[in-house]
Each structure stands twice: as structure tokens, then as C-alpha cells.
Chains A and B, each alone.
Chain A
Amino acid sequence: MRGVARARWVVCALSVALVASGCGGGGSSGGSGVVRASWGDPQNQLEPANTNEVQGGKVLDMIFRGLKRYDPRSGAAENMLADKIETSDQQNFTVTVKDGWTFSNGEKITSKSFVDAWNYAALVDNKQKNASFFAYVDGYDKVHPTSGTATAKTLSGLSVKDDRTFTVKLRTKFSTWPDTLGYVAYAPLPAAFFENHAAWLKKPVGNGPYLVDSYDKGSSMKLSKWDAYPGPDKAQNSGVELRVYTDNNTAYTDLQAGNLDLVDDIPSAQLKNVKNDLGDRYINQPAGIIQTLAFPMYDPAWSKSGLEKVRRGLSMAINRDQITDQIYRKTRTPATDWTSPALGDKGGYKAGLCGDACKYDATAAKKLIQDGGGLPGGRITLTSNVDTGSHRVWMDAVCNSINNALGNDRACTVNPIGTFADFRAQTTEQRMTNPFRSGWQMDYPLIQNFLQPLYYTDASSNYGKFSDPKFDNLVDEANAESSADKANAKFQDAEKILAEQMPAIPLWYQNGSAGYSERLSDVTLNPFSVPVYEQIKVG
């Protein structure tokens, strides 16, 4: 018996060397055809309008389909459940829902499934974190007042015409609004969601290509293919098993040992080995994420006139190429505007809009900063949370770059903050008096999503409180344009104002990275850096 056991170990060790297969038993459950993928514990409960981060978004992307869906490759918004969305004035929209769609529990999807879901999301009593997406709809201020209780239960801008049509009245003109409808917050919800909420949360029911088999909060979720799925993008595998990993290093090790098929976050320590370890089973492609350094424009020390020279100078003092090469090993790309290449031409991306201000030039940087009156207070501090994303490392590098350009070792220092929660609280309360990190992950692949929420006067995520009437005007005009191309051109004009004013320094575009085992093929990442699970083939 002992000899047998030992022989098995030897065979195992050998087979690991040949093909990475799992040995030792236990843990490697999941039948053939099931993709075993890494996962993180979703921060919030899994409701469409309450999920604003990637981990929960992964699941919702598998079990929900909305009116529109972003093409996993190009990012273009294409009709999914929508038959057509029509408008004559860019403000009143008539939505027609396709016939023949049902939820996986058999319930028919009608216009009411959407309207009820949207009303639920917008109502302040339901505390949905994505409620602000419905701020564009008429009547939002009644169901979601900034303080006090709601005076209405439903959005007055939504009304059901018949089983397949409903109308939406927006507060202002917003021509590209239909293209935002691929975001998960706009998903339809079955009656079961409202009738037995607790049970639904335990085992969510949707209308996507997968069904939730079991959900063990904090550790794993098993999904299987929904055979009767009516959509065109049926699952190519028999199911997905998501496993929560606290440490992406462990997930990577598990992938190497053959206990896991797909890792969608390669640990930074492994970036230099990943090509050797995985070869062409490593994906590194642009995702809709940008990192910037925002200035506290609410602080007169930073916003008085002439300081735009200092802000532009600081931007020119940063050697982006070197930092993205040395620290991130090309998993970040030096930014040349304030959006993301993941948008593509159709979404409004245009390289180089930042112009010279985003090109490294130490002498010009020094001159500009001196012309602008020097750094406020003689020195600056960069602030970011340092619990993830190698933020500490790049902040040090950026500071070094600035110090070298200015020839002053103490011009720039770093202020690391331990947790994201603390950092976010400080930026929200406007306690920053110096540049701070501002990252943005797009909700939908439109240039509007990178500009309006971040730089429009008093916009929801305008942490630096930047305000420029010319910029606001251009955004308003862009939203009123009837064609996407014209709208994009206006938004790009608005970006040129950012290049002059530099309320935030674009640092780099973030890539999505993933690695997978030899069992899988057809693995791709969508522009949101989430694996396109339904296309993955096993075996």
C-alpha cells in the first residue's frame, strides 16, 4: 500500500512537470467543462443597483442582460433586450423591449420589469449605491431628495405604455443616454426580487446566460449554464465556479499548480515571471481605468490664476514612460488624455489631447513652475491610499521625478494613507490641501463618463471641485448633439480645456491582466477588465 501511495506521488510530481494537473485530492472540485476562476468577496449585497465594483459586477454580468450590452471586444453599445430606443428631441425616449425574453424562473420580461427595477433603484429608502445613475430621469429629486424623506415612490419620468413599451423623460437633453443602458444598474428585475428579497439575495435570479446554483458568501459561488437562455451569447462552457482569494499571489500559485483555471488579477510581484510561466496564456490589454493626480481646486492656493502653469509644469515633470516600464512592466500605459483607449474611436477616445503638457520635459517643467510663482508653500505632498495597486511605489517614483526636475530633494513628499476607506473619507470631506490620487473606472464606454462626473461643476465625483464655465458649456452642447460623432467632437474640445487648466494630471491608463490554464481557450477580457466568461471554451 505504501509503495502504491509513493508511486502516486511520483506520478503526480511528474505529471505536474508535464501538464499542470491537480494532485493531492480535495479542493479541485468542479466537473469537466466548468471554469474555475478567481474571485474577490463583493463588498456589497449582490443587487444590480447596489453593485459598483468589479467582483460583484462579474457575477451580475453573467446572470443579467440589460437593454443594451457592450460588445466585449469593441465596447460599442448594442441592443440586447431593447428592440429599439427612439427619440426626436434627445430628451424623451421611447423604449421597446424585445419579445420572447424571460427570467430564468420562467417569468416573462416586460416593460414593467424595467420600470419597477429602476424605481426601486432610485428610491432613497432602498439605499442603493448606484441610485445616482437615475438622476438623469425626470422626478429623481422627488424620490431621492438630498435630505429628508422621499415625497414620491416612483420616478415621474418613467411610464409603462404596454407590455413591451415604456417612455422615459430625462431632466435635460442627453443624446447618448441610450448607450449608458448597458450598465448593470439598468438591469430588469423579476417579481421575486420584490416579493421575497432575502431569498433572492441568497440565490439571485436573473436573465443572463448563467444560473446561480449556490452562493456561499465570502468563499465561493457556483454557476451553471442556463440551457434555455434566449439570447445570442449562450455560454460555451457548462458552468463557472468562482472562488474567493484574499491574496492574488495564492490564486496565481493555484493556477500554476493546476487547481484553478483563470486568474484575472496578476500580482505585481509576478509580472516579470508571467511571460515565462504562462506564455501566450497571459492577457494584458487596455481597460477603461485611468489614474490621475487631482488638485484641490477648492483651495485658493491651488486655484488662483497663474497656478495653471505650476499644474502643467508638475505634469511635465513626471516621467511616465519610465514609471510604467519599471514599476508596472507595461501593465500601465502613459496617459495622453483624460479618458481611456478602451473607449475606442466610437466611444470618443483620441490620443494626445493633453498635448505637450503630458510629455516629460524636465527643463520646461522647471521653467513653467517658476513662471507660475513656484510650488504653493514651496513644496507639495502627494496623497493616496496604499493598501492596493502599488500606489506607494509610484508615488515615490513620481516624487523623485519631480524632485529631479526641480533640482530640489524636498520639493515633493508622499503622504500614504493606510486604507481606501480612510482616504476616500478624507477626499470627500475636502481635507486635502495638496494633489491626491484620483482613479476612475468607467461605468459605460462613453467619453461622457470620463468627463462629466469628474470635471463638470459640482459633479458627483468632482473631488477637486474644478469649475470652468467653458467646459460646462461644451459638455451641455455635446449632450444635446443628435449624433454620437458630433457629441464626441464636443467632448474632445472640452478635454482641450482640461489640458489648459490641468485640474488633474493624467498619469496612466490601467490595463486589465489575466492568466489561464491550458484547459481553457477563447479567454478574453472586456473593456471593463472582466473576463468574458460565456465565451470561454473548456478542454
Chain B
Amino acid sequence: MGRYVIRRLLQMIPVFIGSTFLIFFMVYTLGDPVAALFGDKAPDPATAARIRQELYLDEPLWKQYLHYMGQILTGDFGTAFNGQKVTELMSNAFPVTLRLTLVAIVFEIVVGIVLGVLSGLRRGRSVDTSVLLLTLVVVSIPTFVSGYVLQFLFGVKWGLVPPAVSPEAPVDELILPGVVLGLTSLAYVTRLTRTSIAENSRADYIRTAVAKGLPRRRIITRHLLRNSLIPVVTFIGTDVGALMGGAIVTERIFNIHGVGYQLFQGILRQNSPTVVGFVTILVIVFLLANLLVDLLYAVLDPRIRYA
């Protein structure tokens, strides 16, 4: 187990270097960000040259990248154009997005698995059909539609919650955005759980458990659910990364100043330190979440062992 984890962690190093270079290269090819700092006015050549020099933009790409990586290793992620350290931006943005992601994940786990179990156990009945239909509708609605509609209904029409989240972003204000963010994944979790439950409920070991006379509750929670959750856990694991990075739309709609906001701002202004820094952290989150998923397999399914 320990050796497996170490091997996986070591594998992350080339992935980390490769992905940072790719992102760095992509932001670089977008072009020169300095000209845009001057707005409608043409950039003053002398001032622009000084700014380029300060940002190492006058060096060739490989030198810029080496310089940037050197900085990262000393914990310096560079500076955004408005003078803020990227590490400062991160320490403001990541907790907010993490809270938002947690709300979304908790929502999709609790509601999704419950709905999935209910419909999987009553396959073909009206509960099952309506859940399937409902999830189909949810999957087909894009986030920006559900976001604006729910925001208008809850925020303006009924006035139950403020439509925009305050800068501190406390958890209670993040419930509606979290629901919007988790809605699509919720539908997938429900459907995955349903299929898996429906399949396993006819498996031999369940029949044995029923024949043994175990209480129904114990059969479902200990035997059926534990085995049926493996695909769901895989999905949720990759979803953590996707939700954190993919919250751009939701964060925009609800004016949440999290990772999505900083990334959006960074891309618009072509500020490579911001974009590369944030995406790098997202890559690490993604890799760790996947490792965690693989380790969870062993917990859920005793047949799986890591050496």
C-alpha cells in the first residue's frame, strides 16, 4: 500500500511538469498582454518595454518557463497585473471554491445516492420512471440556464436568498450556487447508482444474504450499496477536479470570487502567472483526487489489494 502510494506520487512529477509547460505555452501563444494594459491608447514603447522586462516577457519562451519554474520551487507564483501576489489570490480564491465544491459534492452524494437507491430498488415502477425522466431533463439543461433561472426565482421573485454571494462567501450563501453547480453531476450520480443497484440486486451474494434471513436494511447498506458504489466513487473522484475548475460559469452567475473568477480574469488579461498558477494547483487537486479514488476501491471492495 505504502509503496503504491509513493509510486503514484512520483508519477505525478512528470505529469506536473508536462501540464504546466503546456499551459504556459498556450497562454504564451495567446500573444502579448502588455499592449492591452494601455486600453484604447497605443502603448508607450518605453513604458511597455520596462513592463515586459519586469515580467520577463522579453526573454524567449524556454527561458521564461525555466524562470517561472524556478520561482515556483521557491514558493513564488508571480504577480498579477493589479499588483497582487498570485499566492495571495490563491489563498483568497481556493477556500471559497473549496466550500462551493463541498456543498455541491455533499448535495450530489446525498440526494443522488438516495434517489439512485430508491429507483434502482423499484426498477420499472413509477418512482423509477419519474427519476429517470427528471434526471434526463436536468442533464439537458446547461448550467447557465439553470443558474440564471434559479437565481431569478430564489433571489428576485421570492427574495429568499441574495442573488449574489458576498466576498466572504459563507456556506449558507453558497447553498444555491452549490446546488446549481452539482445539478448535472447529481443526475449522473443518480443514474450510475440506479444501474449498479439494479444490476447487483440480482447477484448471487444478495440472494444468499436474503436467504440467510438478514434484515433488509443490512442487506442494502452493507452488501448491496458497498459493492454498487464503486463506479459512483470513480465518478465523484474525477468530478471533484471538474467541479473546482469548471465552476467558472456558476461563479460568474453568482458573483463568487473563487478560482473560476480568477482564471477568467487571468485569461482575459493574458496574465500567465495567474492562469498557470491556478491551473497547476487544479492539476494537483485532480491527481490527488484520483489517487484517493483508487485507494477507496480497496476499502469498498476487499478483493482489490495494492502492493
Contact = CB atoms under 8 A, between A and B. Distances in A.
Interface of A: 9, 12-13, 15-16, 21-24, 26-29, 41-45, 52-53, 124-125, 127-129, 131-132, 144-147, 201, 216-220, 243-247, 249-251, 253-254, 256-260, 387, 418-426, 428, 438-441, 453, 460-463
Interface string B75-101: 000000111100001001000000000
Nearest to B271: A421
Given A246-B255, A247-B255, A421-B33, A147 B46 contact: yes
Contacts of A460: 41-42, 44
16 contacts: A16-B159, A22-B159, A23-B159, A26-B170, A27-B162, A44-B83, A124-B47, A128-B47, A129-B47, A217-B83, A246-B261, A246-B264, A249-B148, A250-B163, A387-B268, A418-B30
Given A246-B252, A258-B159, A463-B42, 20 more contacts: A15-B159, A16-B159, A26-B162, A26-B170, A27-B173, A43-B82, A147-B46, A218-B84, A219-B257, A244-B257, A246-B257, A246-B265, A247-B252, A250-B252, A420-B36, A421-B32, A421-B33, A425-B36, A428-B43, A462-B42
Contacts of A387: 268
B148 A245 contact: no
B251 interface: yes
B50 A124 contact: yes
Which of A41, A201, A249, A387 has the largest count of B CB atoms less than 10 A from its CB? A41
A277 B257 CA distance: 27
B167 interface: yes
Interface of B: 30-47, 49-51, 54, 81-84, 89, 92, 148, 151-152, 155-167, 170, 172-173, 251-255, 257, 261-262, 264-265, 267-270
A70 B162 CA distance: 37
Contacts of A254: 155, 162-164, 255
A125 B47 CA distance: 8
A306 B257 CA distance: 54
Contact of B84 (A16, A144, A217): A217
B30 A16 contact: no
Contact of A453 (B41, B152, B162, B170): B41
Give the interface centre of A43, A53, A260 by most chain B CB atoms within 10 Å: A43
Contacts of A147: 45-46, 49
A146 B38 CA distance: 16
B54 A127 contact: yes
A376 B42 CA distance: 26
Contact of A421 (B30, B82, B253): B30
A441 B39 CA distance: 9
A23 B160 contact: yes
A428 B35 contact: yes
A44 B36 CA distance: 11
The interface centre, meaning the residue of B162, B170, B251 with most chain A CB atoms within 10 A of its CB, is B162
Contacts of B46: 124, 131, 144-147
B89 A218 contact: yes
B84 to A, nearest CB: 5
B30 A43 contact: no
B89 to A, nearest CB: 7
A53 B30 contact: no
What 7 pairs across the A-B complex have the smallest Cβ distances? A421-B36, A16-B159, A219-B167, A27-B166, A425-B32, A424-B35, A27-B162
A43 B37 contact: yes
A418 B269 CA distance: 11
Contacts of B165: 27
A44 B81 contact: yes
Given A419-B30, A461-B40, A425 B35 contact: yes
B172 A257 contact: no
B269 A43 contact: yes
A420 B156 contact: no
Nearest to B262: A218
A44 B82 contact: yes
A463 B173 CA distance: 47
Given A26-B170, A44-B82, A257-B155, A129 B261 contact: no
A36 to B, nearest CB: 11
Nearest to A219: B167
Contacts of B251: 246
Nearest to B264: A246
Contacts of A145: 46
B82 A428 contact: no
Contact of B159 (A43, A257, A420, A422): A257
A52 B159 contact: no
A12 B160 contact: yes
A219 B93 CA distance: 11
B44 A132 contact: yes
B84 A12 contact: no
B164 A127 contact: no
A219 B167 CA distance: 6
Contacts of B257: 218-219, 244, 246
Contacts of B253: 247, 249-250
Contacts of A246: 251-252, 255, 257, 261, 264-265
Contact of B255 (A15, A245, A257): A245
A44 B166 CA distance: 23
Contacts of A424: 35-36, 38, 43
B159, B170, B270 interface centre (most CB from chain A within 10 Å): B159
Nearest to B152: A253
B83 A45 contact: yes
Contacts of A132: 41, 44, 47
A48 to B, nearest CB: 15
B306 to A, nearest CB: 43
Given A144-B46, A246-B251, A440 B40 contact: yes
A529 to B, nearest CB: 14
A89 to B, nearest CB: 28
A259 B162 contact: yes
